[in-house]
Structure 1
Amino acid sequence: MAETIDDKIKNYRTAPFDARFPNVNQTRNCYQNYLDFHRCNKALAAKDQDVSPCEWYHRVYKSLCPISWVQKWDEQIENGSFAGKI
């Protein structure tokens, strides 16, 4: 029954329950996973390590966030005007 992280990611369908965000409104969950993905990529890339563990956050925010929000945030990151701390 012991699944590896790779198996869990491969079998992943939608965002699992996160006790930090127990309410129906998942806006904060979406935003936090978006930030965590970019922070994870930045931290692991700076250490020249494999960034594949960050894929979990990517899949979660892709399943929770509206596409228009992600596109807007990506544009803001490129322009240097993103409000979040990455």
Structure 2
Amino acid sequence: MPAMMGKAKAQQRLIDNLQDEFAKVQREYHLPAGDFPDVEHFKQVLAGYSIDKFEKMKPKMVQAVDDMLAHDIPDLLKNFSNPYQ
């Protein structure tokens, strides 16, 4: 039972400091603030979940998605004409 209390407290601390957590992620991954959801709404959503059940972030997967967004998708889009030109 004490382990569950510790996890609940850790989750509440994370939710309470969500704005700071968003800022850390924003800096680490060079993301614009507009890519993040509204903090207050997201706090309400997170409160309904048990965060310890979330999968851990996998750096290789993040890198693969980043590479896809930076290279693969732009290359793919070159195959289509731009209707605005």
TM above 0.5, yes or no, is no
Larger Rg: 2
TM-score when normalising by structure 1: 0.27
Q: Which has the higher contact order (CA 8 A, sep 6+)?
A: 1
TM-score when normalising by structure 2: 0.27
More helix by share: 2
